[in-house]
Amino acid sequence: MHKILKIALAVFGLIGAILWFQLPSADAPASEAVNSTAMSLMFTITYLLLAVAVVSSFIFAFKKLFSTKESLKKALFSIGGFLALVLVSYIAASGTDIDLTAMADNGNPTTEGTVKNIGMGLNMFFLLTIIAVALMVIPGIKRFFTK
């Protein structure tokens, strides 16, 4: 299987190199470059390789996830914790932080729900950043005091 994968990647690399040399020159108009067959084929190969990478990563992740009860339990606790953070972030967001009429006057019509969702996203970012920093700093502090 490993040998087949190497051969397939070499073939895709060779096709990509051939298509690279068939791309329009830098002096070509943008409309010609966009409609170039070589460009379209290179994008198709890119999408194909990306799809293979995504599908294979999902397959191996789910295979590992469902291999033992402990890993599934740990994943469910993590998902539950993440959903709890989403709920706390949504509750903490007010949605009335800005003047909606001023936004509409600037050409950005928004609703209170949109502002609340943006606030939730910011709150999630801040909470996850605090958690990540704490998970990096606390073990270092523990090691410092235990030695």
Tell me, yes or no, whether 123 and 143 share the same domain: yes
Tell me, yes or no, whether 77 and 130 share the same domain: yes
- CA pair distance 6, 143, nearest whole angstrom: 44
- CA pair distance 116, 12, nearest whole angstrom: 46
Of 17, 36, 67, the position where a domain reaches its end is 67
pLDDT tens-place string over residues 108-142? 888 888 889 999 999 999 999 999 999 999 999 98
Of 40, 67, 94, the position where a domain reaches its end is 67
The per-residue DSSP string of 13-25 comes to HHHHHHHHHTSPP
Tell me, yes or no, whether 60 and 89 share the same domain: no
The pLDDT, as a whole number, for residue 34 is: 76
Tell me, yes or no, whether 42 and 75 share the same domain: no
pLDDT tens-place string over residues 2-13? 788 788 888 988
Tell me, yes or no, whether 19 and 43 share the same domain: yes
Tell me, yes or no, whether 86 and 144 share the same domain: yes
What does pTM read for this prediction?
0.58
